[in-house]
Amino acid sequence: MRILGVDPGLTRCGLGVIDAAGARQVRLVHVEAATSPAGDPVPARLARLADALEAVLDQHRPDAVALERVFAQANVRTVMGTAQVSGVVMLAAERRGLPVALYTPSEVKAAVTGDGRAAKPQVGYMVARVLGLAEPPRPADAADALAIAITHAWKGGAAPAGSAATTSAQRRWAEAERASRRRG
Q: What's the number of domains the chain is made of?
A: 1
The tens digit of pLDDT for each residue in 122-142 reads: 999 999 999 999 999 999 999
Q: What is the C-alpha separation between 133 and 42, in angstroms, rounded?
A: 35
pLDDT for the residue numbered 78: 80
- Sign of the C-alpha dihedral computed for residues 163, 69, 114 and 121 taken in this order: positive
Q: What is the largest CA-CA distance in the chain?
A: 51
Residue 167: burial class (beta carbons within 10 Å; 0-12, 13-18, 19+): exposed
pLDDT digits over 98-120, tens only? Answer: 999 999 999 999 999 999 999 99
Q: Residue 136 maps to which CATH number?
A: 3.30.420.10
d(CA 38, CA 52): 16
pTM of structure: 0.84
User: Is 68 a known ligand-binding residue?
Assistant: yes
Q: Annotated catalytic sites, by residue?
A: 7, 68, 141
63 is in an annotated binding site: no
SS3 label, residue 95? helix
CA nearest neighbour of 89 among 146, 29, 7, 3:
7
**pLDDT tens per residue across span 64-86:** 999 999 876 667 778 899 999 99
Q: With cut-offs at 50, 70 and 90, classify the pLDDT of residue 22.
A: confident
Is 177 within any annotated ligand binding site? no
Identify the domain containing residue 134 by its residue range: 2-183
